[in-house]
C-alpha cells in the first residue's frame, strides 16, 4: 500500500515528526551544487546555529546519517581496546550503545534498568569511583520508555571522576533543557528528525577539546565516519562527501527560526504540549509510565483490558493517526505519543478525541 495515499494523516511518532509547511516548501526546491563558496557560507551559518542549540562553544560535526550512524561514529572514533566504558542501559537505545560496543570489541559494563526506572545517582557515583572506567555512555532521554535522565547531576559526577561523558541527546535537544558546556558533557549527539522537526538524514556530534584530543590519539578505523576528516573539511565550509543537500537547506532555515523565537521558547512549547496531553488522558484507562517524563514524548501505559499494540493499529486504520508502538515485553502494554515537531494544541485536542472514541467504541 502507498503510505502517502492516506490524505491528511496526523503523526505523533518520535521520529519522523510533523514538519511545517514552510520547511517542506524549502525541501521541494531544486538542489544547488554544494562545492561553492555560497554553500560554504551556508554551512558556516548552520554550524553556528547548531552550537546555539547544543549550548556549546565547541565544534559540531555534521554527518549524513541517522542518529545510529552518529552513535557508531562516536564509538569508532573515541574508543579502543584499552578503554573501559560504563553504559546506562534503560531501554532500546541504551541497548544500542551496548550492541555497538560489543560489535567493535570495546570493553564495557552496563547499569541495566527496568523499563521506566530512573537512574540512582548514588549507584552511579559508586560505580564511577572505580577508576577503571574511562567513559560513560548514556541517552539523555531513553526514547523507548520516555525516561529523562538528570544529565546535569551525572555531568558533575563524571567531571569529578575524570570520566569522559558522552550523551546521546538525539530526542532531548530542543525539547528539554540541555547545556553541553555547563553540564560537563564532552560529546553530545543529535539528529534531524526529532525536535528539530526536519526529515531524517542528518546527525550531529558536538565534541569538546578533550574529546578531539582523544580522537587524534586513535588510529582511523573508518573512511566515512572519520570525524577528523569532517572537522578539517568543515573549516572550509564543506563536507568530505556529498551531504543531504536538501536537508541542509531545511536545517539552515529551521535554525534561523529557532534563533528568532529563542531556544527557551521552543522548549517551553514542548513542555506545554506534554502537560496538556498528560492532563487530558487522566479520565481514560491509561497512565503515564516514567516518574520523570521528557517534554519530547509521553509513554502511555494501558490498563489490562487494552492491548496497546492493537490500539496503535486502530488509531492508524480508523483515525489516520500514527502513534508509536513499544517493543519487547511492553509491546502490548505501552505506546508512545510524541510532542515534537510542528505540533499545536489543536493537534492534541484531535488526538485526545480520537483516542477517546477509539477506546470507547472499539476496545
Task: Break the chain into its structural domains and give their ranges.
Answer: 10-18+262-362, 21-260
What pLDDT, on the 0 to 100 scale, is given for residue 31? 98
Convert 137-150 to b/e letters by CB count within 10 Å (16 or more is b): bbbbbbbbbbbbbe
Under CATH, which architecture does the 21-260 domain have?
A: 3-Layer(aba) Sandwich (3.40)
Q: Find, among 100, 292, 283, the residue nearest to 189 by Cα.
A: 100
Ranges of the chain with pLDDT below 50: 1
Instruction: Give the model's pLDDT for residue 66.
Output: 98
Q: What's the confidence (pLDDT) of residue 130?
A: 81
**pLDDT tens per residue, range 38-53:** 999 999 999 999 999 9
Which residue has cell 479520565? 283
Reduced to 3 states (helix: H, G, I; strand: E, B; else coil), residue 96 is: helix
Counting DSSP H helices and E strands in the chain, the numbers are 12, 15
pLDDT for residue 115: 85
The residue whose grid cell reads 509547511 is 21
pLDDT of residue 2: 62
- Tell me what pLDDT residue 1 has: 46
Of 171, 193, 182, residue with least CA distance to 293: 171
Instruction: Give the model's pLDDT for residue 6.
Output: 57
Q: What pLDDT, on the 0 to 100 scale, is given for residue 176?
A: 98
Tell which residue, 132, 154, 146, 140, has the closest CA to residue 291: 146
CATH for 10-18+262-362, options being 3.40.50.150, 3.30.1280.10, 3.90.1150.10, 3.30.930.10: 3.90.1150.10
Residue-level pLDDT at 79: 99
Amino acid at each position: 500500500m502507498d503510505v502517502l495515499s492516506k490524505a491528511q494523516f496526523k503523526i505523533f511518532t518520535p521520529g519522523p515528526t510533523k514538519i511545517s509547511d514552510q520547511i517542506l516548501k524549502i525541501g521541494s526546491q531544486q538542489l544547488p551544487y554544494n562545492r561553492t563558496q555560497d554553500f560554504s557560507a551556508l554551512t558556516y551559518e548552520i554550524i553556528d546555529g547548531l552550537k546555539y542549540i547544543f549550548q556549546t562553544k565547541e565544534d559540531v560535526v555534521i554527518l549524513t546519517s541517522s542518529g545510529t550512524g552518529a552513535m557508531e561514529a562516536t564509538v569508532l572514533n573515541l574508543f579502543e581496546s584499552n578503554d573501559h566504558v560504563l553504559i546506562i542501559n534503560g531501554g532500546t537505545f541504551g541497548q544500542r550503545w551496548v550492541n555497538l560496543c560489543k560489535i567493535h570489541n570495546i570493553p564495557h559494563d552496563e547499569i541495566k534498568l527496568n523499563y521506566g526506572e530512573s537512574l540512582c545517582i548514588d549507584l552511579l557515583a559508586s560505580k564511577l569511583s572505580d577508576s577503571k572506567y574511562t567513559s560513560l555512555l548514556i541517552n539523555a532521554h531513553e526514547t523507548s520508555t520516555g525516561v529523562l535522565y538528570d544529565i546535569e547531576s551525572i555531568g558533575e559526577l563524571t567531571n569529578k571522576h575524570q570520566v569522559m561523558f558522552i550523551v546521546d541527546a538525539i530526542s532531548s535537544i530542543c525539547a528539554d533543557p540541555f547545556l553541553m558546556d555547563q553540564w560537563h558533557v564532552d560529546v553530545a549527539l543529535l539528529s534531524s528528525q526529532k525536535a528539530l522537526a526536519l526529515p531524517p538524514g542528518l546527525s550531529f556530534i558536538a565534541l569538546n577539546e578533550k574529546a578531539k584530543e582523544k580522537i587524534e590519539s586513535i588510529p582511523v578505523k573508518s573512511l566515512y565516519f572519520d570525524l577528523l576528516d569532517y572537522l578539517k573539511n568543515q573549516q572550509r565550509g564543506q563536507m568530505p562527501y556529498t551531504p543531504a543537500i536538501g536537508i541542509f537547506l531545511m536545517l539552515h532555515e529551521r535554525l534561523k527560526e529557532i534563533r528568532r523565537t529563542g531556544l527557551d521558547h521552543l522548549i517551553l512549547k514542548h513542555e506545554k504540549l506534554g502537560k496538556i496531553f498528560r492532563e487530558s488522558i487522566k479520565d481514560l484507562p491509561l497512565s503515564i509510565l516514567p516518574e520523570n517524563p521528557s517534554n519530547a514524548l509521553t509513554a502511555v501505559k494501558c490498563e489490562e483490558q487494552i492491548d496497546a499494540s492493537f490500539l496503535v493499529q486502530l488509531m492508524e486504520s480508523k483515525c489516520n493517526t500514527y502513534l508509536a508502538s513499544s517493543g519487547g515485553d511492553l509491546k502490548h502494554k505501552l505506546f508512545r505519543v510524541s510532542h515534537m515537531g510542528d505540533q499545536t494544541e489543536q493537534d492534541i485536542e484531535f488526538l485526545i478525541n480520537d483516542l477517546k472514541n477509539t477506546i470507547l467504541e472499539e476496545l
